[in-house]
Amino acid sequence: MSVEVPRPLMLRESEFSSCRDDDGQGDRKRLVNKSASDVVGEIRLTPDSGLVTSLGTKHTLESAIADLVDNSLDAGATQVFIRLLTKKGYLFQVETIDNGHGMSGPEVDRALTIGHRRDYSSGDLGHFGLGLKAASFGNADELTLWSRRTGEDPVGRRIRKQDFARDFTCEILSTKAANAFFRRRRQISDLDSATAVVWTVPRNTYVGTDQTEAMAWLDRTATALRLHLGLTFHRLIESGVVRLHVLVDELTSSYKNPGIPVLPVDPFGYPVSGHRDYPKVLTARAGGSRIELTCHIWPPKTDVTGFRIGNRTGREHQGFFVYRNDRLLKAGGWEAVTSATAQRQLARVVIDDPEALGTFITMNPEKDGVKFEPAFLQSVLKARSKDGVTFADFLDTAEGIYASANKRKARRKPAIRAHTGFTPPLRKQIAGELPMIQGDAMSVRWKRLPAGEFIEADHPSKTLWINNRYRRLFAPQGGSMNDAPTLKAILYLLAHDLFEGEYLGPRDKDNIALWNSIIGHAAALESDLRNG
C-alpha cells in the first residue's frame, strides 16, 4: 500500500490580504490561508467618538501641563509660557505658548486626531499619541490650537469636547483670527514660529462664590504647578535647554507679563553625600538584559528644597526616581521591592537607562508614574556593584547613617531657641540639630558698642548684642534684621548657654571678656585691612 505525500501548499499572491496595524504605523502583509481558514470577510472597527469622554480622567492640572511641555520640547522650544488667566478673579483660560518650530494646517490636524502617532525619535518625550488630547480634555471642555511656522500664515483649530465626543468635529479657524491671537501676545511670543494650546471652559477649578478663596486657590495651584514643573524638568532647566514661566493674571492685562520663572528642584542636589562611598552604581540583570541603579544617600538632618519637595518631607520621597531623556517620570517610592520607613528616608535611586523602559519599566500615558515589571522587581534584590555591594547593603548603610545622626541628637544637651536676628531657615536648622528648651528664646541684634568690644550679653532680655561698628564686615550690602547668618550661627553655638542659666555667673562673664578680647581685636584688624 502506497501513501501519497501531500505537496507543500502554495498560495498565489492574490491569496494574501493586507491590513493596517492598529497603531497606524503602516501596512503589513498578513498571510491568510483562505482555503483552510474560517475567515469569511473583514470589517474595520473604527473607534467610537464616545471614548473622548474618558480621555484625561487621570490627569491633574500639573501632569497635563507637563505633557504639553513635552510636546513643546519635542518641537524644539527653548521657552514655554504657561498662563493661568482669570476673569474677575476666577480661572477663565489656560494657555501654553512655546517658541518651537510650529505646525502647518495638516500637521495640526494630525496632532488633534485621536490615536495618531507621529514618528517619534529616541530623544522625544512624546510617546503615545494621546498627550495633547488627554491633557486638554482632562482639564477643559474646549481646546483651541494656534500655530505659526516661519514664512507661513498661522493656522487655528478648535475642538469642543461635546461635539468631538459625538462625531470628532473640529472647527477650522480663520487666518485673520490666528494673526490676531499672536498679535495680542507679541510681547511674549513675538517669534517667527510658535504654538499655543488654549483651554477654555476649564474643569477641576474653584467653583465657590468667595473671591478671596478663589484667589487663594489660584495661588496654591500656581505654586503646585511651578513645583511640579521644576521637579519634572529640573535637568533640562538646569542645563539651559528650556526656560519655563508661570503667570497668574487677569486676561485683559496679561499680554505684557511673561510670568515667574520656574526654578529647578533637584531631588539629588545635596552639597555633600551622606556617605563617602556614594553615589554607587549597582547593576541588575534579568535574562539577557541589564539595568543600572545609581544609589544615593542624602546627608542626615537635611531640610532643603530637593530633599523636602513642597510640603512633602524627605521621608515621602525615598525610593526610585525614573528618568527618560532627562525628564522625570517617577519621584520616589519603592513599589514592591521594599517598604518605605523613616530609617530609609535618606535613600534614593536613579534609573536613567533607555533600555529599562519597555523591558523592565512601563510608562503610564500621563507620564507621571511608571509600572515596574516583575522581572525588574526580582532583579533589583540581586543587583550588585563592581565592588560587591548589594541593594540590601545600600539600604543598611542609609539606615545606619540615619540612626547614627539621631543618636547624636539624643545625646546633645537641650539648648535655648534661636529667635530674633536669625533667618527662619537657620532657626529651623538649629532646631533640627539640637533638642530645644521650651520657653525662652535667644535673640542676636546690633547696637553701637565701644571700640574693641565685639559683643555684649543682656541676660534679662536674652539678647546678645553685636557691635554695630563692624556690621559692614559681615553685611557689606547693607544690614537687615536677619543679616550675617554665618556670624550669628557661630555666635549662637559659642554663647547660647549664657542665657540658659538663671543669671550670668563669674565663668560666663570671664568667657565674654575672653571672646571680646580675641574677637574684638580680630574685627578691628579686619576693618583696618579692608579700609587700607
pLDDT digits (tens, 9 = 90+) for 490-525: 999 999 999 998 889 989 999 999 999 999 888 888
Q: What is the dihedral of CA 401, 404, 406, 408, to 10 degrees?
A: -140
Looking at residue 50, the DSSP 8-state letter turns out to be G
Q: Are 197 and 138 in contact (CB under 8 A)?
A: no
Q: Domain check: are 312 and 379 in the same one?
A: yes
Q: Look at residues 386, 406, 426 and tell me which one is the last residue of a structural domain.
A: 406
Determine which of 23-32, 117-126, 341-350, 380-389 has the lowest per-residue pLDDT on average: 23-32
Angle between helical axes of 485-495 and 506-530 (0-180°, round to 10): 160
d(CA 266, CA 309): 9
Q: Look at residues 347, 371, 406 and tell me which one is the last residue of a structural domain.
A: 406
Specify the long-range contacts of residues 521-530, CB closer than 8 Å, at least 24 apart.
Answer: 521/452, 523/454, 523/467, 523/470, 523/473, 524/451, 524/452, 526/470, 526/473, 527/469, 527/470, 527/473, 530/473
Kindly state the cell numbers that stand for 124.
522625544
Q: Beta strand pairing status for 436-447 and 415-418?
A: parallel
Q: Domain check: are 240 and 365 in the same one?
A: no
Structural domain contains residue 41: no
DSSP symbols for 141-169: EEEEEEEE-TTS--EEEEEEHHHHHHH--
Which pLDDT belongs to residue 384? 94
Each residue's pLDDT tens digit, 149-177: 998 999 999 998 888 878 888 999 999 99
Beta bridge partners of 29: 18
Count of structural domains, the chain: 3
Which pLDDT belongs to residue 377? 80
Structural domain contains residue 42: no
d(CA 67, CA 126): 8
Listed in sequence order, the residues at least 6 apart from 467 whose beta carbon sits closer than 8 Å to its beta carbon are 446, 447, 448, 449, 450, 453, 454, 455, 456, 520, 523
Place of cell 477643559: 140
Kindly state the cell numbers that stand for 45.
472597527
What average pLDDT does this structure show over 289-313? 90
Nearest alpha-carbon partner for 286 in 385, 356, 387: 356
Which pLDDT belongs to residue 498? 92
The chain-wide mean pLDDT, for the chain, equals: 84
CATH number at 179 reads 3.30.565
Q: Are 309 and 267 in contact (CB under 8 A)?
A: yes
The answer, yes or no, to whether residue 432 has pLDDT greater than 60, is yes
Q: Domain check: are 345 and 395 in the same one?
A: yes
Q: Domain check: are 477 and 503 in the same one?
A: yes
Which pLDDT belongs to residue 190? 64
Which pLDDT belongs to residue 162? 85
Structural domain contains residue 39: no
The answer, yes or no, to whether residue 461 has pLDDT greater than 70, is yes
Structural domain contains residue 315: yes
d(CA 384, CA 390): 5
Each residue's pLDDT tens digit, 173-208: 999 999 999 998 887 766 789 999 999 988 878 888
Structural domain contains residue 309: yes
Which pLDDT belongs to residue 431? 87
The answer, yes or no, to whether residue 33 has pLDDT greater than 70, is no
Domain that holds residue 231: 58-261
Q: Are 257 and 349 in contact (CB under 8 A)?
A: no
Residue 183 vs residues 233, 404, 465: alpha-carbon distances, Å? 29, 62, 59
Confidence of residue 4 (pLDDT cuts 50, 70, 90): very low
The answer, yes or no, to whether residue 10 has pLDDT greater than 50, is no
Q: Are 249 and 94 in contact (CB under 8 A)?
A: no
Residue 386 vs residues 105, 236, 276, 283, 393: alpha-carbon distances, Å? 54, 30, 16, 8, 13
Nearest alpha-carbon partner for 456 in 466, 446, 448: 466
Structural domain contains residue 40: no
Q: Domain check: are 226 and 123 in the same one?
A: yes
Q: Domain check: are 321 and 451 in the same one?
A: no
Nearest alpha-carbon partner for 280 in 383, 375, 206: 383
Kindly state the cell numbers that stand for 514.
575672653
d(CA 114, CA 168): 9
d(CA 365, CA 135): 10
Which pLDDT belongs to residue 177? 95
Q: Are 293 and 349 in contact (CB under 8 A)?
A: yes
Q: Domain check: are 248 and 176 in the same one?
A: yes
Kindly state the cell numbers that stand for 203.
474643569
Q: Look at residues 344, 376, 406 and tell me which one is the last residue of a structural domain.
A: 406
Structural domain contains residue 20: no
Determine which of 85-99, 300-314, 384-398, 403-417 has the lowest per-residue pLDDT on average: 403-417
Report the first-to-last Cα separation within the chain, whole angstroms: 122
Q: Domain check: are 388 and 498 in the same one?
A: no
Q: Domain check: are 67 and 164 in the same one?
A: yes
d(CA 376, CA 399): 23
Beta bridge partners of 456: 465
> Percentage of the chain with pLDDT > 90?
50
Looking at residue 333, the DSSP 8-state letter turns out to be B
Structural domain contains residue 191: yes
d(CA 413, CA 115): 64
Confidence of residue 398 (pLDDT cuts 50, 70, 90): very high
d(CA 316, CA 120): 34
Each residue's pLDDT tens digit, 433-446: 888 998 889 999 99
Q: Domain check: are 63 and 202 in the same one?
A: yes
Which pLDDT belongs to residue 401? 94
136-156 b/e (C-beta count within 10 Å ≥ 16 → b): bbbbbbbbbbbbbbeeeebbb
Which pLDDT belongs to residue 367? 61
Each residue's pLDDT tens digit, 311-330: 888 899 999 999 999 999 99
Q: Beta strand pairing status for 140-148 and 194-202?
A: antiparallel
Q: Domain check: are 96 and 218 in the same one?
A: yes
Which pLDDT belongs to residue 54? 59
Q: Domain check: are 194 and 232 in the same one?
A: yes
Return the higher-pLDDT residue of 299 and 413.
Answer: 299
> Percentage of the chain with pLDDT > 70?
85
Which pLDDT belongs to residue 269? 94
Confidence of residue 57 (pLDDT cuts 50, 70, 90): low
